[in-house]
Chain A
Amino acid sequence: MTLRKTAFALLAELFILCSFAGAFDTLKIVATLDTARQEIYGAVEYRLPSNPPLGTLEFQLFPNVYSSDTTPYLRESKSIAEYFRQKKRFFGITVDSLLIDGINRTADLKIEYTRGLLADAGTDKFNNRRVQIYFRTMIPEPGDRLSHLRGNYLLDGWFPSPAIINSDGSWYNPFYGGFTELVGEYYQYDVTFRAPSNLISVAPVPASDSIQQMGMTTYHYIFGPAHDFALILSPEYLVDTASIGSTTIRYYYRGYERAVLPSLKEWCRKTIDYMSDHVGPYQYKYLSYAFVDFAFVGGLEMPAMVSLSSPRGAAMTTDLGRLTATHETVHQWFYGMIGSDQCRNPWMDESLADFFAEKVLKYRQEEPMPLWRFWNFTFSDRDYLRLGMTMSGEGLKVDAPAYSFTNDLDYFGTIYSRGALAVETFENIIGEGAAQIFWRRYYDKYLFKHPDYDDFMQTVAEIAGDDYAEMIKPLFNSGDKIDYAVSQLENRKMDSATYEISFVLNKTGALKYSVPYRIILYDGGELDYHWASDFASERIVKRLPYPARVVIVDPNNKLPVDADLMNNSLLFNGDSRPGMRLSSGLTFLVESLMSFLGGM
């Protein structure tokens, strides 16, 4: 390389690094956890950017989602809302004072639900101004992402955070309706947090220093770039550590959760290895897992942290716990490092997390690992996704905002299950090789950024071409169910050496995909064809030396989003054995029920 070329490359790198570093502002937080009052009080400080021009100032007050049982958020979290209603206690965040460049502007502040708004900048714009927000957050008991229970604290969304600046200088303040999760820009966090010394504090990184004084410990954390900063505190935590590459993994658990650790460690390692190999490397130095007491069973993703509900009930006897741990670990990529909007495009992290979780679970396995296998009963991760998709309502789009859903079945069935199957269908359509390039490109392009639906499709077009991008759009932006079916199979003997095989292929939904189909003849021969599926149905007629035993549309299950897999194949002579076995089992079940009720 010549000197000129080297100098040019160095300058270019320096330019890229500078713009990269400049993209992240520092968010300074100083706060104290008051366990007597179950409150956090403190201040958030940040400097607004020099452009685009900012005529107003907005910030987010997430804890206000718990401010009454009629908030859009709690309307869809019915059990928590009901508990608060019974206890007649609601929670939220109070802004004690708002200072702009040291001048108190609290009187001009308007608070609407989770939106803090200062409309008037005075004579000048808000650009380059220093914002200081003094706040007090009441911590709900119990709750979901911000809660405390029996002296254990889960603190997420606990401080006022800046709203997101659009390119035209307007603000995007996410609407926290039902099923929404926190949305934020990427920042460097400089957090000073005071908590009682008996509490073990779990943060995305270890404290750079800590001072113990009068029964209180002050921790100092430097972390970023990240779009959130969460803390988990418990007096009961034990800690175990492991290393995966250059990442230190920390596991926080209570004594009675120790038995889960080997499985958690194994799946954490598998997930990190898989995601690093197939998407991109994990960027943080630490990743912490902590068992917490939620008001629900599942897990919660936070940058460089995963919280998992304590393994009780179903999670112990099935492998759902393993699925949850894998799903939340995948979120470190799709949410943590590639920060999509969890309010407007929840599928861009949840569908991808479920999709990759299934890939991790069946990676290098001959058969998909069952989530539940007892005696002769099997229930796989795939069954779990299909059950979820089946139970969700009709006409719902994968690319719908979280707040547009009104019940759990629709939200989880559409965004998690159908979304994961749609992503798998997309991957199958563009092919394994293109898919590998796609995920790497998507990661490189949007690392520590917030891609949206258009960005995703643009990357698809970039890797697979515009036609493919157009083809896969109905998987995400159409509420129509996608179903391919085969019907009306007939075999007609034409002469001693020829049979006319006739059947109808049907299609429901807007997907324009040349779907493969297979004819299996009575001599065992298999013939593969493609159907362009330009029309809703088409009669296919073939002349072959043997009659058809079975016709299968999409024989390799390339379209897992297909709403009904039972009609994908048609046997010329039906097989009653599955029906008979089912009936045999049901007969015994009914006999047992009768013995129980009738005593005989």
Chain B
Amino acid sequence: MREVLRHFRKLLKYKLLWSYLFLLKLLISFLLIVPIFLESNSRLAPSLHSSPLITEWNIGVLVELFVNQSELPIVYLLYILVGAFIFVGIMQFLNGGLYYLMVSGEVGTNKWREFFAECGANFIVHLKITLFMTVIYIILLPASLFFVNMIGVAGQSLMGAAAIIFMLFKAGIIFAVLLAASIFSDSIRAASTVHPGMPLTELIKLGANYYRPNMIKMVGIFLLTYMPFLIIWGLVESLSLGAVSIFGGMVGIILELSLFQISALARTGQKLWYLILFGRHFKETNPGRFLPEQVQLNLE
């Protein structure tokens, strides 16, 4: 716990990287949303019927928005998914540099050249890891759903708030399964960083060797770093609710947007914080190319 908190300070040393990653996410989101805004605003702006949307997420307004264009939500969804996959592609490029910085523990403002060199060099292998992990996720998701459905029988008599809590518990199970898989993904990516050029099968073996004894610890570290984010997220949602109802109008909307961005920024920070801890631990176990030179000399 103390170690986790201690490394939060290190996260601040990566504040530029943190900001850039957040801005990239924000920029791509904006690019995706602008056409949707233009299209929906042409229907919403001239109508009084859309005004409840200023203070609440009124599903009725959304129903009317798409009343004559029922195909639009599907088009929007596909469009956003395509955009998200482009973002995933960009992330595979950035993962090379990111995992290099996190595992090596390098900090400094003059590391950008190295960062992008690593990005370019490891792009293909990160892409391969993503494809491999996609298969794993596709297998795990129905498997976790099966498990969730099994325990679902136990909660079938629950009502109201208890039912929502039980539903969240089921979502938590799916989250835990996917989290465990994502840590496996991190292990393979870290292995690719410490052993550049190694074939994927070897990387998977190396990753698995690290993952097996350290999975529980890493899940714990992830959850410890995730808690502050969850608190921020909850606070943001509550405050944004207050912002739109108390301030109303444009002020409320801008405040809400800002609060949402604080949450998005916190999520990027959470993942970086976790990766700092993960990278450090991975390097201790598998130093690979980051093995200090003098130690190598001693061994010889």
By a beta-carbon cutoff of 8 Å, the part of chain A in contact with chain B is: 255-257, 259-260, 310-312, 316-317, 375-380, 382-383, 386-387, 390-391, 550, 552, 563-571, 574-588, 590-595, 597-600
Contact = CB atoms under 8 A, between A and B. Distances in A.
B47 A569 contact: yes
Contact of B53 (A256, A257, A380, A582): A582
A376 B21 contact: no
A517 to B, nearest CB: 13
Given A312-B156, A571-B47, A582-B40, A597 B87 contact: yes
A1 B158 CA distance: 63
Interface in B257-285: 257, 260-261, 263-264, 267-268, 271-272
A567 B66 CA distance: 12
B158 A316 contact: yes
A594 B87 contact: yes
Contacts of B66: 390
A579 B87 contact: no
Interface stretch (B27-35, B117-125, B199-207): B27-35
A317 B164 CA distance: 6
B70 interface: yes
Interface stretch (B3-11, B56-64, B138-146): B56-64
A569 B60 contact: no
A74 to B, nearest CB: 27
B84 A383 contact: no
B267 A595 contact: yes
A594 B67 contact: no
B68 interface: yes
Interface stretch (B108-116, B210-218, B248-256, B286-294): B248-256
Contact of A387 (B21, B63, B80, B156): B63
A390 B48 contact: no
B151 interface: no
A378 B58 contact: yes
A597 B133 CA distance: 11
B88 A569 contact: no
Given A257-B157, A576-B41, A598-B88, A550 B253 contact: no
Contact of B64 (A552, A566, A593): A566
Given A376-B241, A390-B70, A580-B37, A316 B60 contact: no
B80 A590 contact: yes
Contacts, number: 198
Contacts of B88: 594, 597-598
A590 B253 contact: no
Contacts of B26: 587, 591
B49 interface: yes
Contacts of A598: 25, 84, 87-88, 90-91
A203 B296 CA distance: 87
Nearest to B92: A598
B253 A581 contact: yes
A257 B59 CA distance: 30
Interface of B: 21, 25-26, 28-30, 32-33, 36-37, 40-41, 43-51, 53-54, 56-68, 70, 80, 83-85, 87-88, 90-91, 156-160, 163-164, 167, 182, 237, 241, 244, 249-250, 253, 256-257, 260-261, 263-264, 267-268, 271-272
A273 to B, nearest CB: 24
Contacts of B163: 316-317
A558 to B, nearest CB: 15
Tell me the dominant secondary structure on chain B's binding face. helix
Tell me the dominant secondary structure on chain A's binding face. helix
A378 B160 contact: no
Given A257-B157, A259-B159, A590-B32, A378 B57 contact: yes
A581 B53 contact: yes
21 contacts: A255-B157, A259-B159, A311-B159, A316-B163, A317-B163, A317-B167, A376-B56, A376-B241, A386-B63, A386-B67, A565-B64, A569-B47, A569-B48, A577-B53, A578-B54, A580-B37, A580-B253, A585-B57, A586-B36, A595-B268, A598-B90
A576 B21 CA distance: 30
A578 B33 contact: no
Report which residue of B58, B63, B160, B257 has the largest number of chain A beta carbons within 10 angstroms of its beta carbon: B63
B264 A566 contact: no
A382 B64 CA distance: 12
Contacts of A567: 47
Given A375-B237, A564-B64, A587 B57 contact: no
Given A377-B57, A591-B29, A571 B64 contact: no
A317 B165 CA distance: 10
A574 B237 contact: no
A583 B36 contact: yes
A138 to B, nearest CB: 29
A569 B158 CA distance: 44
A357 B104 CA distance: 65
Report which residue of A387, A575, A580, A599 has the largest number of chain B beta carbons within 10 angstroms of its beta carbon: A599
A316 B156 CA distance: 9
A570 B36 CA distance: 21
Contacts of B48: 550, 552, 569, 571
B47 A570 contact: yes
B45 A587 contact: no
Contacts of B47: 566-571
Contacts of B51: 575, 578
A393 B70 CA distance: 11
Given A311-B159, A378-B59, 12 more contacts: A317-B167, A375-B241, A378-B56, A379-B59, A386-B60, A566-B67, A575-B50, A578-B53, A580-B37, A587-B257, A590-B80, A597-B84
A260 B59 contact: no
A18 B272 CA distance: 87
Contacts of A259: 157-160
Report which residue of B41, B159, B256 has the largest number of chain A beta carbons within 10 angstroms of its beta carbon: B159
Contacts of A563: 67-68
Contacts of B91: 598-600
A582 B257 CA distance: 10
B63 A383 contact: yes
A256 B163 CA distance: 13
Contacts of B241: 375-376
B139 to A, nearest CB: 17
Contact of B50 (A387, A578, A591): A578
A581 B268 CA distance: 23
Contacts of A571: 45-48
A588 B264 contact: yes
Contacts of B249: 577
A311 B30 CA distance: 41
Nearest to B272: A600
Contacts of B54: 577-578, 581
Contacts of B167: 317
Report which residue of A569, A577, A597 has the largest number of chain B beta carbons within 10 angstroms of its beta carbon: A577
A224 B227 CA distance: 63
Nearest to B98: A600
A591 B264 contact: yes
Contacts of A588: 257, 260-261, 263-264
